[in-house]
Amino acid sequence: MTAPTSTAAAPGTAAGEAARRRTFAVISHPDAGKSTLTEALALHARAITSAGAVHGKGDRRGVTSDWMEMERARGISVTSAVLQFDYRGRVLNLLDTPGHADFSEDTYRVLAAVDCAVMLIDAAKGLEEQTRKLFDVCRHRGIPVITFINKWDRPGRDALELLDEIEREFRLRPTPVTWPVGIAGHMRGLADAREPGTMLRCTRAPGGEKAAIEEALTAAVAEAEFGEEWRTATEELELLAGTGAAHDQADFLAGRSTPVFFGAALTNIGVRLLLDAVVDLAPAPAPREQAGGAAPRPLDGEFSGLVFKVQANMDRAHRDRIAFLRVCSGVFERGMTVTRAASGRPFSTKYAHSVFGQDRTSVERAYPGDVVGLVNATALRVGDTLYTGRKAEFPPMPTFAPEHFAIVRPADIAKSKQFRRGIAQLDEEGVVQVLVSDARGEQAPVLAAVGPMQFDVVRHRMEHEFSAAVKLEPLAYTCARRTDAEGGAALNRSRLVHGEAMTRVKDGEILALFPSRWHVGSFEREFPRSPLEPLIAAHEQSGD
């Protein structure tokens, strides 16, 4: 493959080091194999010695990126994780995202911190609902997408049919880089679309814990061994070549095409080729847009960074809190004093770590594209900009419209102090939104969530991390609108039982809650002068 063109910069400078970085996320619908692929990529880069996802979800106790006890018990990812490793002279920052739709906000925040995405598609299921939503986010944010069609070692759909679906539904031209020899479930190897007449035979390593064994075959050997299957693969590649389905780097970076790879993450087949594509095709970090139309900060300029995630208790022994910072410009140095844009106050970076799943090491220096974990950063919030010198500030991250609401109370009133601390922590992390109302008071906050599984995370973490089990009382609201004090007062004194107004703790915004869209319309007709502003719906995920 041909590496992306970039402006030459001296090694050791911020711009020169940024050119060596590739910061990307793996996105998919739940159960498409996202965490398995994450581990397989780390395995091929020799960042780990064996995969922890070799027997499916029942035995996924050792998956590097799933550190939370609840994730390992359920076999799903409900938080994002960061893995940094070297490969082919590049520094790769891989962000594993939650697969479940209930955690759309967390995924959106992660996508604000990356320069490229690997979209994982199940060979049997094709494009699923969450895949569509996540692609819409990538399109809106201008993130180029590499596609990996996974689970080709199991029965699935026709390869050409899957490409047609990508082009039809995403209006994105698929350009195969590898092509399967053999139908889904009977994978013989991979043909190279860039070098017709060559095939890579991939053999699963014993136990599946090591990288697959690869053997290059000539066309003659492939014809002799695989006959009709090889001929079918070459004919399909010729058909695709005739339609102009060849990789074009400019189209890829502009979001008009997606290079496509086939393989099986569980058996580590086709993963090395995907990893090579991240190095060769994914863009290096570039200057990022600032809020208010300010000019982008040069990579070699003064330091700036974006806090895209806050996570507590990753290290249960120390009960710490980590703010994940994407370095956007300049050089980060541990111990430097930076300014928090939201408050204008200084912040010390004495405790800075490089994170690999749950493991961490102190980081002395980081460059644009790197992710730094700032430990015990109690003052920082999701969306914060940190900078030195001239002020920098990146656009705020949107908050999605919640659709599930529940009053939360401590199961044991004697644990009220731990209860308040835990709820405040989960609100700051963005696990849920916390609302309060005049009617209920601060002793009975209301949790607002995009999906009900967020409540399960709250229950689990409150009990196991804060020693304060909780009771939840569901509320019959399904719609939220942003309003002002006048609108909130009108809602609360309404002659009709429309809903009620609550204040979001983290930013003081007033939300009007309604049982249904019909109630929204009824309120607007009765109080036409009281403004109601829609929030971003999780199924839309568009717009800042």
Q: Where are the domains of the chain?
A: 21-281, 297-387, 404-534
DSSP one-letter string for 512-530: EEESSHHHHHHHHHH-TTS
Q: Please state, in angstroms and as integers, the Cα–Cα distance from residue 91 to each residue in 2, 309, 367, following that order.
A: 18, 21, 10
Instruction: Name the CATH superfamily for 404-534.
Output: Peptide chain release factor 3, domain III (3.30.70.3280)
Going by C-alpha positions, the residue among 414, 467, 473 that lies closest to residue 444 is 473
Q: Please state, in angstroms and as integers, the Cα–Cα distance from residue 444 to each residue in 181, 407, 424, 466, 515, following that order.
A: 60, 6, 13, 17, 20
Fold for 21-281, please state it.
Rossmann fold (3.40.50)
80 neighbors 106 (Cβ within 8 angstroms): yes
Please report the pLDDT score of residue 2 as a whole number: 47
Q: Residues comprising the binding site for GTP?
A: 96-100
Please report the pLDDT score of residue 210 as a whole number: 73
Ramachandran sector of residue 299 (left: φ over 0; alpha: ψ -120 to 50; beta: rest): alpha
DSSP state, residue 392: -
Please report the pLDDT score of residue 377 as a whole number: 82
Show the tokens assigned to 378: 């109690």
| Burial class of residue 393, CB neighbours in 10 A (0-12, 13-18, 19+) | middle
| Residue indicated by tokens 């596609």 | 147
Cα–Cα dist 283/20, whole Å: 10
Helix (H) or strand (E) segment spanning residue 482:
strand 479-483
Cα–Cα dist 471/459, whole Å: 8
277 neighbors 193 (Cβ within 8 angstroms): no
Please report the pLDDT score of residue 351 as a whole number: 87
Q: Largest Cα–Cα distance of the chain, in whole Å?
A: 82
CATH of domain 297-387: 3.40.50.300
Cα–Cα dist 409/376, whole Å: 27
- Beta-carbon count within 10 A of 493 CB: 8
DSSP state, residue 415: G
Three-state secondary-structure class, residue 226: helix
Give bridge partners of residue 175 from the DSSP assignment.
259
pLDDT tens, per residue, the chain with 544 residues: 544 544 456 667 999 999 999 999 998 887 888 888 888 888 887 776 665 533 344 444 444 444 445 444 444 444 456 888 899 999 999 987 765 555 567 777 888 899 999 999 999 999 987 788 788 878 888 999 999 999 999 999 999 999 999 999 999 999 999 999 999 999 999 999 888 888 999 887 665 567 778 899 999 999 999 999 999 999 999 999 888 889 999 999 999 999 999 999 988 899 999 999 999 999 999 999 999 889 999 999 999 999 998 887 665 555 678 899 999 999 999 999 999 999 999 999 988 987 665 677 888 999 999 999 998 788 898 899 999 999 999 998 877 788 999 999 999 999 999 999 999 988 888 888 999 988 888 888 999 998 888 898 899 889 988 899 999 999 999 999 999 999 999 998 876 566 899 999 988 999 999 999 999 999 999 888 888 998 876 544 433 3
Dihedral sign computed on CA atoms, order 142, 143, 146, 150 = negative
Q: Please indicate whether the domains covering 297-387 and 404-534 agree at the CATH topology level.
A: no
Please report the pLDDT score of residue 75 as a whole number: 44
Going by C-alpha positions, the residue among 331, 371, 333, 368 that lies closest to residue 109 is 371
Q: Residues comprising the binding site?
A: 96-100
125 neighbors 29 (Cβ within 8 angstroms): yes
Q: How many CA atoms lie within 13 A of 327 on its CB side?
A: 33
Residues in the chain: 544
Please report the pLDDT score of residue 62 as a whole number: 45
Going by C-alpha positions, the residue among 354, 283, 292, 288 that lies closest to residue 325 is 354
Please report the pLDDT score of residue 392 as a whole number: 96
177 neighbors 194 (Cβ within 8 angstroms): yes
Please report the pLDDT score of residue 199 as a whole number: 94
